[in-house]
Structure 1
């Protein structure tokens, strides 16, 4: 069966993600028709043919729905089975996972030392309609909620090194459970605790953000709720974006860069964070692989992007690098409402749609930021200087640029006009 997925999706099993046009991937319109197709495959499945290629392991059961044929990948359905989950794994092959129901938690590690120390470097919760590609060699931990089901595509049969194949009768039972989950999908557009705040008083809920100067990444990631609440509070978001120009501290930190423009909405250095509105991306320059000098959580408001998270493979675990020193670990689709958290130890590329706007919770500075030195965009694409002759990669925002951004954000429906 030819699944009704984005046309470029399965090419990610064989091609580098930065060769894909984000426009071909950034949609969730596939969810309903593909869910119907998977239900049909379950109805037509022959347990006596498919059970041997299916397996159960601690944490989940994997049902084979279609074996790979030619250029078409194998199709599996992953069902959390209520048993204690297995530990993190090193991906033996590239695979694509598409949540159909429930939620899917994803953690990425640099190495086995991070695993042993329980220190993930990237955290993401995916809801139905989002996509994650786990690339060969990545060290990941993936766990679904008890009501979830995930479609998994791969060119290579999935083996069960710590499990066992299913018997035909077990396949039938699991297929029945899968049909039940797909018939009553849980399709959250955002976490249940992200309700619109009743008042737009600065500090009424931003004051709930803890001191982030010494917390672990999981605690940092939990603050994504604050970004969701701010995105939903149009009145407060409009006030903060519009008044940055009148606040010397916030406006001095607002920048025009070779990647995008940022307006600083809130500074709380005594608690180790700053909240930014990132907008007006330069899509060509966004393909530059780079790290950050701080941990951050991002939340998409409008537009979207393919987020390619890289691990370093060179001799240095930090410091300057080139494109040959990194390799993709995971690629995710980031659509409005998506949130993720990235540590300064990993490199990423944000292949953005024009007009993308995001909120960022920036944590405390921990290191120096770097970008792939062999892929730096030409100077002709850098911001024109406010003073001087040569363009610069980053500079303070001018008054007229701030006003132009306000008009752009109002036209896009991000803030009130």
Structure 2
């Protein structure tokens, strides 16, 4: 199924910007197929429209319906129209067009009132000239309902006009009505009350139109809906982009918990599962660490935002799985490679330990850092995971070895005498 995103701008009437996005199904391994959002062969058109405040969704639907009829194109059902924030329109337009310009949140000449960049279409910000000014009452005149008075409340209180920061207030407007004017009673600390009044700034309305299973000539449709000789309220400023592919995807991975570290004889046997739903080639463990060392190293690594760089840093101080590494009190922390277990479940390493008394003195509590690594033979990169305890997302997980103190104490004196 392909998808076409169309954006439109309306000058005197309806306006449209049209951006084409075809859903391309890339070749993937059989185990992770791309799942199309619809039946094979379907095309869904998304049309983003910026319209004047006086134009309704119904007028827009009529224009599109006329265009479909004249072009002899068909869709499943009728055009679905949903109003969205102008900020969504501006963001998508900027992302899909190098020449797109963001539109002011309100009339450029109006320095007091701005629409807030939130999903709720009725949320506005009312800014006073100074932080020392206090809004005592706000009266808004609506096109249909007439005047309505609002008394501001504190940030934690319930009300339609709330203080955000000194001098600025959030205003929730009446639904399905247009504000046309306002009067504000303002008091300056230590000064006399004053009245502010003016027109409420008009903003264009923005809509997303969805046409399911479009069948026909889309170029002919786009031509017709711009032609004032064929439709009553044409779209204008139509631009049809190309080479745009919209892919809807989730990106999530979880670091599974340790699968039962244990001590066998005088060795620590480490078992760690792979990153969930990711192709884990190996796991790296920085060990041994004190609590302070773990905190310092974790802070250092979290400052690196590049997964390729994380792998490079790890390998600068690494001991690979084929090399035996004995850990004692004076052994510096190294990145130890955990190789895939022969069962194919998780990653494992056996770490011989020595001088248990010295280890307990140096590490009354032992910590480690873990990094899951992707490796396809060309690229090596750290896998982003969710910390099993804090639920924070990152490339590095810190953990304490819970059984360490008890196991080390039990083994003091158990080493063979030299």
- Structure with the larger strand share: 2
Q: Compare CA radii of gyration and give the structure with the larger one.
A: 2
User: Structure 1 length normalisation: TM-score?
Assistant: 0.18
- Structure with the larger helix share: 1
